[in-house]
Amino acid sequence: MEASHKGRFLVLNIETGEYEIDDHELAALKRAKAKNPDAALYMLRMGYSSAYRIGDRGLVTPP
């Protein structure tokens, strides 16, 4: 993937190698499912170790 894709979502069909990329995970997921409703899919956010973060750890600088 290109550096310009950082932060976008990738949905990969692990059986065929086909993929969808979008700024919105549901849009990419819907397109992938439309191609093959029974596909085994893997989703990630490009350039990040996880798609989402829970909480604000590391975002607030202590006084």
Section 28-50 average pLDDT: 92
The pLDDT score that the predictor gives to residue 4 is 77
The pLDDT score that the predictor gives to residue 41 is 95
Ordered DSSP codes for the chain = --GGGTT-EEEEETTT--EEEESSHHHHHHHHHHH-TT--EEEEETTSSSS---S-TTTS---
This prediction has a pTM of: 0.75
pLDDT per residue over 2-18, tens digit each? 777 888 999 999 999 99
Section 21-45 average pLDDT: 95
pLDDT per residue over 47-63, tens digit each? 888 777 776 666 555 55
